[in-house]
Amino acid sequence: MHIKYITNVRIPTPRAQGYAIMKMCSEFSKLGFKVELFVPDRKNMEKDNNPFDFYKIENNFNIKKIPSFDFLGKTLKFGRVFYWIDILSFLVASKFKIKINKNDILYTRDYLTLLFFSKKNFIIFEVHNIPVADFLFKRVIKKPRLFFVLNNNLKKELINRGVSSEKIFISPSGVDIKKFDIDLSKDEAREKLGLPLEKEIVLYSGQLYSWKGADTLAEAAKLLPEVAFVFIGGVRPEFDQFKEKYSSKNIIIRPFQKREIVPIYLKSADVLVVPNSGKEKIGASYTSPLKLFEYMASKRPIVASNLPSIREAVNKDVCFFAEADNPESFVEVIKKVLSDKEFSLKTIEKAFEYVQKFSWEIRVQNIVKEIKNKII
């Protein structure tokens, strides 16, 4: 079978979605599918423009560039207008450039892609968010044969919009367990990265968008001056704004790190944090954070926002919970984790055992099982 994965994502990208897309394509290929990934042909700011080298993913599928405008790559002015011009140019070109044959599977995580392809095609829609203005969304979700969602909250939203529950399957994010379970001590990791050896370290890895909740953790850092808070990730302009706002002696802010460096950072920490905000639905209800599974594979204690999206993925046996958007609550829980090493060790062991079922291999195997059931 032939999978044609279509996405309006600039590849490679430091955003987690780029890695997830590439990893899914690679795992599909390993299971015997012929895979083609179609992405916009746009300027890329990453120095290493080879996606397979950038993500350290096996080169076992084809990537094809679709001609499209790139106004946002040249200026941030008129952002919304240029965003729509760029995406529509990609989608229209995709319609004419990509031939979907009778037995092909069209796979996407971008609902606007569905506007330009027929219900007659075998369409799979991987749902990560429900748009607020969902007039178009309600129209296009009549087309897919199968839906894969990150959690039960998204499944309920689709059912409320008229999608049959028999078409919807829950498929949380995945993780490369071996890449994060590295043989490296805390001190060795810190020496490699130039991080303080004498201080306890609380670390956040990821983007700095408001719904990710990094601001909450930075505010918590002000209340724990004796602890070092490390933030890695983020792209401009969010990174520059965050660094200017939270410049402090006990806050270390570093930009996006290559995939192979991130596991070293996670090993350097005493506590890893997922501080999602509850103010937006994507953080409170829809997401299944890649970092959460990477944290568990890294064998470090985790503090996370007490939100439905997080609670569905993990429980109190493998994670400590703090009140979302509440710096004082995060301080209280972080102190507890740092002071009770024995109990923290128990959660680490349970988390590592628990995360074994969330490998990328298992995720794709489960998706393929449902595809084959639908075809039969």
pLDDT, tens digit, 9 for 90 and up, residues 349-374? 999 999 999 999 999 999 999 999 98
Confidence of residue 121 (pLDDT cuts 50, 70, 90): very high
Confidence of residue 317 (pLDDT cuts 50, 70, 90): very high
Model confidence at 54: pLDDT above 80: yes
Could you give the 3-state DSSP secondary structure of residue 288? coil
Rounded to whole angstroms, how far apart are CA atoms 192 and 212?
A: 27
Q: What is the pLDDT of residue 53?
A: 92
Q: Give the pLDDT mean for 203-219.
A: 95
Confidence of residue 79 (pLDDT cuts 50, 70, 90): low
CB distance 300 to 270 below 8 Å: yes
Model confidence at 46: pLDDT above 90: no
Q: Which residues contact 6 (CB under 8 A, 6 or more apart)?
A: 38, 94, 98, 106, 107, 108, 110, 113
**Backbone φ, ψ for residue 250 (5° rounding):** -100, 10
Rounded to whole angstroms, how far apart are CA atoms 241 and 248?
A: 14
Confidence of residue 238 (pLDDT cuts 50, 70, 90): confident
Q: What is the pLDDT of residue 330?
A: 98
Domains and CATH numbers, the chain: 2-174+359-375 (3.40.50.2000), 177-357 (3.40.50.2000)
Q: What is the pLDDT of residue 77?
A: 67
Secondary structure E strands in the chain? 2-6, 34-41, 62-67, 104-108, 122-127, 146-149, 168-170, 201-205, 228-232, 251-254, 271-274, 302-305, 320-322
Model confidence at 102: pLDDT above 60: yes
Q: Give the pLDDT mean for 297-303.
A: 97
Confidence of residue 49 (pLDDT cuts 50, 70, 90): confident
Model confidence at 196: pLDDT above 70: yes
Angle of CA points 318, 295, 339, to nearest 5°:
60
Scan for tokens 């298992």, then name that residue. 362
What are the Cα distances from residue 303, in Å, to 13, 49, 202, 324, 334?
27, 35, 10, 11, 7
For the chain, helix (H) and strand (E) counts, in that order, are 16, 13
Q: What is the pLDDT of residue 134?
A: 78
CB distance 113 to 8 below 8 Å: yes
Tell me whether strands 271-274 and 302-305 are parallel, antiparallel or unpaired.
parallel
Model confidence at 59: pLDDT above 60: yes
Residue-averaged pLDDT of the chain:
93
Rounded to whole angstroms, how far apart are CA atoms 33 and 26?
A: 10
Model confidence at 47: pLDDT above 60: no
Q: What is the pLDDT of residue 113?
A: 92
If you compute the radius of gyration of the chain from its CA atoms, what whole number of angstroms results? 21
Kindly list the strands in the beta sheet with 251-254, ordered across the sheet, starting from the edge strand earlier in the chain: 251-254, 228-232, 201-205, 271-274, 302-305, 320-322
Model confidence at 74: pLDDT above 80: no
Model confidence at 376: pLDDT above 70: no
Q: Among 23-27, 162-166, 217-221, 281-285, where is mean pLDDT lowest?
A: 281-285
* pLDDT tens per residue, range 127-151: 999 987 778 899 999 999 999 999 9
pLDDT-above-70 percentage for the chain: 97
Confidence of residue 71 (pLDDT cuts 50, 70, 90): confident
Q: Give the pLDDT mean for 222-242.
A: 92
Q: Give the pLDDT mean for 272-299.
A: 94
Tell me whether strands 228-232 and 201-205 are parallel, antiparallel or unpaired.
parallel
User: Token pair for residue 82?
Assistant: 């240029």
Q: Give the pLDDT mean for 182-189.
A: 96
